[in-house]
Amino acid sequence: MFTARPITFLKPCRAGSPAALIAPQLGGRRAGRRREVRGRPASTVRAVISSDDRSVGTVPSQVKLGSAGAPSQAVPEGQAIEVRAVVTIRKKMKEKLMERIEEQWDSFIHGIGQGILIQLVSDEVDSETKSGKRSTEAAVMGWLPRPTEQPYIVEYTADLTVPPDFGRPGAILVTNVHSKEVFLTEIVVHGFSQGPIFFPANTWIHSQKDNPSKRIIFSNQAYLPSQTPEGLKDLRQDDLISLRGDGKHERKKYDRIYDYAPYNDLGNPDKSEDLARPVLEGEERPYPRRCRTGRPPTKSDPFSESRIEKPHPVYVPRDEGFEEIKEGTFSAGKFKALLHNLIPLMVTALSGSDNHFACFSEIDNLYKEGVILNPSEHQAAKKFMLPGILKNMMKIREPLKYDLPSIVSRDKFSWLHDSEFARQALAGVNPVNIERLREFPIVSKLDPTIYGSPESAITKDVIENELNGMTVEEAIKQNRLFILDYHDILLPFIKRMNSLKDRKAYASRTIFLSTGTGSLKPIVIELSLPSSISPRRKRVYTHGHDATTLWIWRLAKAHVCSNDAGVHQLVNHWLKTHACMEPYIIAAHRHLSSMHPIFKLLHPHMRYTMEINALARQSLINGGGIIEECFSPGKYAMEISSAAYKSLWRFDMEALPADLIRRGMAVEDAAMPCGIKLVLEDYPYADDGLLVWSATKDWVHDYVTHFYPDHPNSVSSDVELQAWWDEIKTKGHPEKRNEPWWPNLETREDLETILTTMMWTASGQHAAVNFGQYPFGGYMPNRPAHMKKLIPEEDDPEYEKFLENPQKAFLTSLPTQLRATQLMAVQDTLSTHSPDEEYLGELPQSHSNWMNDQRIRTSFEKFSARLEEIEDIIKKRNRDLRLKNRTGAGVPPYELLLRSSGPGATGRGVPNSISI
C-alpha cells in the first residue's frame, strides 16, 4: 500500500531545509545527477502561484500522514520502497505588498499539505484495473521552505511509499487544491533503483475548482506510440483528447484547448462600418487557420467573431502565454512606444494637423536631441482637457530619443546610394524577394482582359543602355540580371489603395545588374497603375545624371521601398512565419503526445508564437491597427496577404534551398553543401542562412535516425505523426489541402525535410525578416511604409513645385511625423529580444532535463557547438573586404543570423521560436 509521509516540521537542518532530510544515499545519487546536467542543482517540483485568489481548498481525507523520518535507500527485498519528491515553488519575481502577504499564506498552506496532491502512475499494468498501477494521492508538504539560489524559488518535499512490484513510474497525476493556478516546471522522484526520475512540465496547473480533471505529467522518457508502456497507453490518449476539446463554448483563461478557427476577428463591424473586414477563408480569400477562442459572433455580421479589445487578453491555451519576464519586457516596450508616440500625437492634436518633416535635420533630431513638449507653451492646449498624468509626462525634461538605427549609424547618407538600395535586397530585412531574371520580355500572369497587356514596359533597349555593350540575352545567360517584382501581387489592389487618404502607390518592378565586383546596382524601375487610372499606366525610370532625373529616380526608389516594406510585413514576415507556423503548433498539441520524440524536438520552436499572434490580431493586423495605419495597403492589407497565400505559398518552397532554387538564386549542385550553389558569391542572407539550415538539418537527421529504426514502415506506421501531418493540411491549411506539392510523409527523409523546414521557419527565417526591422526601418526615408503622392509628371500642376523645391516634394511624399514615429516605435518593440529569450542550440536551465537519452544529449551538444562555429564564420565573413555586401565604408555588417544576442534591439540573435 502506498502512503504519504510528512517531513519533520521541528527538526529540519538550516531553517527547514528539506534537502537535509534526504538520506545520504539519495543525496549522493542526486549529487551525481547534478554533475550530469551542467552543474545545475537537482530539479524538483517547481511552481509559481498566481496572486488573484487567497482561498484554499481542502485535502481529501484519504491522504494518510505518517510519522516523520527520512526515507531509507536500503530496502530489504520484498518490502516497500520509500521515495521522495522535492517540490519547488516559484513566487512572482516582482511582488506588491499584498502579494508578499499572500506568499506567506501560501507557504503556510503548503506547510500543512493543503496545496498540491500528486499520484504516481507506473509503466506496468494493474491486473485488476487493466491500467497503470497507481499510488494513493499524497500531499506535497513542508515547513519554512529552503530558499534556493534564485530569490523567487523555494523548496518543499513529499515522502512516499510504494510496493516493491510497483515498477517504474512513467506519469504523475497532479491535483491543485488551491483555488488559484500554479505553474509547475518539473517533478523529480528519488528513491527508485533507476536513479532520479524526471518529470518535466513547464505548465500551468489549473485549480480544481475550475476543472476537476487531474493533470497528467509524463516522465522525460520519449516513446513512439507503438512503444508506449502498457500502463501509460490510456493516459497518453486521454491527455491528447483533453487538449483537443469539443469545438464548443467560449474558451476560458485556464483552458488548454487547441482548436482551429478562420481569421474572422480582424474587423469590428459593431463599432463602425468602416472597421468591417472580410473573413479570410474559402476559395476567394484563403488563409491559414488560427487558434479558436469560441467568442460569439458580432451583431452586425454572423460570420465575424466579436473582438476583445485592449487591455483585455485574447484567449490562447494557458501554457502559450508570456511568462513574467517576457510580459515585463513586452509591457516596457509598449510603454516606451507610448512615450515615443505621445509627443507627435499631442503635437498633432494641438496644432490641428499631422505635419510632414520640413527637412532631413528634423528627422535627424529624433535621434540626436529628442523632443520635449510642454503643453503650457501651446495656446491651443487650452482647448484640450488633458489628463494630469499626460501633462506631467509631457513636462518631462528628459528628451524622448530614438536609438540611432544601424543603417545610418556609420553613414547618414548611405540610404541615398544606389549601391545601398541594391545591397538591402540581399542583406537587408527583406532579402527573400529578389529573383534572377531568367526570361525576357517580362510578362505578367494577371488576366489581360482585366489588367491590360501583360508585357512589361521595360524594353530591351532600355536595359541594354546599361549593359556596356552586352545584349540582354548574354546578360541573362551569364546570370547578371536580377529582378524585384511586385507587379502582380499589388496591381489588383492599387486602385483601391490609392482611393484611401494619404495613400498613393504603384505596382513596381526593379531590374538590377550584377557589377562583376560582387555587388548589384539598380538600372531600371517600372511603376504601373491600372489602366482605369492613367492612360500612361506604365512608366519606366532610369537613374540618369542630371538633377531633375536624379530626384525623380529617388522618388521611384522610395516607391519601390514602400512596396518592399509592405510585402515584407504582410507576406514574408506575418504570413510565411507567424500565420503559417500556428497550425503546425495547434496540430502538434492535438496529435503528438508530450511523450512523442517529435513533440519534444518541436516544442522549443513553439514558444510564445500563439500569444504574439493573438496580440497581433488585437493591435497590429486588425482593422484600424498599426499595419493598416502605417503601410500602403491600408484596410486592404490582409486581403493582399490572403492573395499572396493563394498564389505564392507552398510548404515545399519554404525550405531554404528550395526557395533559393525557385527564385533562381541558386542551382542544384550535388557536390556543394545543401546540394545547391548560389549564383551570387556574396548573398549574405543565403550564405549565412544555408549554414544555419545545414546545422539544423544535421541535428534533425541525428534525432530522427535515432528514434525511427531503419525499417520501411517506421514513419508511415506512426499513428500520431500521420494524424499530425494530415491535420496540418486538412484543418490548418484547408484551402490548400488537395495541392499536389505537399510532401509525402512516408520515410525518414520525408520527416527530416518537413521538420527542418518548420524549425528553420521558426528560427532562422523569422530572425532574418524580423530583427532587422528597426535597424533598417527605424530611419524612415530608407524604408517608408507608404507614400502620399505619385511622382509628378511634366504636365502635372505639382511638377513646377517639384522643380522649385525637390527636397520638399520628396519629404511631403513620405509619411507624416505621427505615422513615421508611430511605426518606428512599434518596429523598435518588435526588434527587441527579451531577457528570457531562448536561442537556437541553447538549452535553458528550465529545460535541462527535457530528455533522458544520452545519445540525443550528445547530438544536441554537437548541434550547439556547430552553431558556435557558424557564429565565428559569420564574423569572419563580416571582416572580409572582398564581400562588398557585408563590408566597406559605412556598410553595416550582416548579423541577423548570428545565433546569440543580449536583450534589446541588437540586430542579431536567432531565437528558437517566433517569440515577438
522: preceding bond cis by omega (within 30 degrees): no
C-alpha cell at 773: 526591422
- At residue 118, the 3 state secondary structure works out as strand
Q: Which residue has better confidence, 760 or 164?
A: 760
Of 681, 683, 682, 679, nearest to 666 (Cα)? 679
User: Quick one: pLDDT band at residue 150, thresholds 50, 70, 90?
Assistant: confident
pLDDT of amino acid 454 = 93
- Has residue 336 got a pLDDT over 60? no
> pLDDT of 902-913, one tens digit each?
999 999 999 999
Of 35-49, 290-304, 647-661, the least confident: 35-49
pLDDT single digits (tens) 374-422: 444 444 344 333 344 444 444 444 556 788 999 999 999 999 999 999 9
Report which of residues 853 and 34 the model is more confident about: 853
621 in active site: no
More confident of the two residues 240 and 56 = 240
CA distance 72 to 26: 8
Residue 319 clears pLDDT 50, i.e. is over it: yes
Residue 836 · residue 326 · CB < 8 Å: yes
d(CA 587, CA 259): 8
The per-residue pLDDT for range 116-128, each reduced to its tens digit, is 899 999 999 999 9
Catalytic residue among 49, 205, 442, 916: 916
- Whose cell is 483601391? That residue is 496
pLDDT tens across 597-646, in order? 999 999 999 999 999 999 999 999 999 999 999 999 999 999 999 999 99
Identified catalytic residue from 578, 589, 605, 786: 578
Distance CA 666, CA 577 (A): 22
Residue pointed to by grid coordinates 490609392: 498
Which of 25-39, 270-284, 649-663, 678-692 is least confident? Answer: 25-39
Active-site residue among 770, 849, 878, 912? Answer: 770
pLDDT at 489: 98
What's the chain's average pLDDT? 85
694 contacts 209 by C-beta, under 8 angstroms: no
Percentage of residues of the chain with pLDDT beyond 90: 67
pLDDT of residue 563: 98
3-state secondary structure of 483: strand
Name the H helices within 460-579: 460-464, 472-477, 487-498, 547-567
Q: Tell me, what's the pLDDT at 844?
A: 83
Better-scored residue on pLDDT, 475 or 42: 475
Least confident of 214-228, 328-342, 664-678, 863-877: 328-342
The grid coordinates of residue 682 equal 556574396
Report, as an integer, the average pLDDT of 510-533.
92
Q: Taking 90 as the threshold, does the pLDDT of residue 193 lie above it?
A: no
Q: What is the pLDDT of residue 107?
A: 62
**pLDDT tops 90 at residue 471:** yes
**1 vs 4, 81, 122, 132, CA distance in Å?**
10, 10, 14, 15
Q: For residues 527-539, give the mean pLDDT.
A: 83
Closest CA to 914 of 770, 772, 774, 775: 770
Catalytic residue among 206, 487, 573, 733: 573
Sign of CA pseudo-dihedral 423, 426, 432, 433: positive
Average pLDDT over residues 845-856: 86
pLDDT above 80 (res 28): no
C-beta separation of 873 from 691 below 8 A: yes
Taking only the tens place, the pLDDT of each residue in 556-601 is 999 999 999 999 999 999 999 999 999 999 999 999 999 999 999 9
The predicted structure's pLDDT at residue 616: 94
Which residue do the cell numbers 519534444 mark?
A: 600
Task: Read off the pLDDT of each residue in 295-309 and give the average, rounded to a whole number.
Answer: 95
Q: Which of 89-98, 385-394, 693-702 has the highest mean pLDDT?
A: 693-702
Rounded to whole angstroms, the Cα distance separating 126 from 123 reads 10
Q: Which three cell numbers stand for residue 245?
A: 476539446
pLDDT over 80 (residue 703): yes
Q: Give exposure, 464-486, as e/b (b: 16+ Cβ within 10 Å).
A: bebeeebebeebbeebbbbbbbb
> What Cα–Cα distance (Å) separates residue 259 from each residue in 235, 289, 293, 598?
20, 9, 8, 20
Q: At 347, is the pLDDT very low, low, confident or very high (cuts 50, 70, 90)?
A: low
Between CA 831 and CA 825 the distance in angstroms is 10
Catalytic residue among 596, 603, 766, 833: 766
Residue 770 annotated among the catalytic residues of the structure = yes
* Percent above pLDDT 70 for the chain: 81
According to the model, what pLDDT value does residue 709 have? 85
- Any catalytic annotation for residue 559? no
Place of cell 518535499: 157
Tell whether the model's pLDDT for residue 894 goes beyond 70. Answer: yes
pLDDT at 487 over 90: yes
Domains, the chain, in order of start with CATH, read 4-243 (2.60.60.20)
Residue type, 884: K
pLDDT for the residue 179: 80
pLDDT of residue 309: 86
More confident residue, 248 or 20: 248
Alpha carbon distances (Å) from 905 to 400, 774, 776, 915:
17, 8, 12, 14
Three cell numbers at 612?
Answer: 504574439
Q: How far apart are CA 728 and CA 741, in angstroms?
A: 14
Query: Average pLDDT, stretch 881-905?
Result: 95
What is the band of 62 on the pLDDT scale with cuts at 50, 70, 90? very low
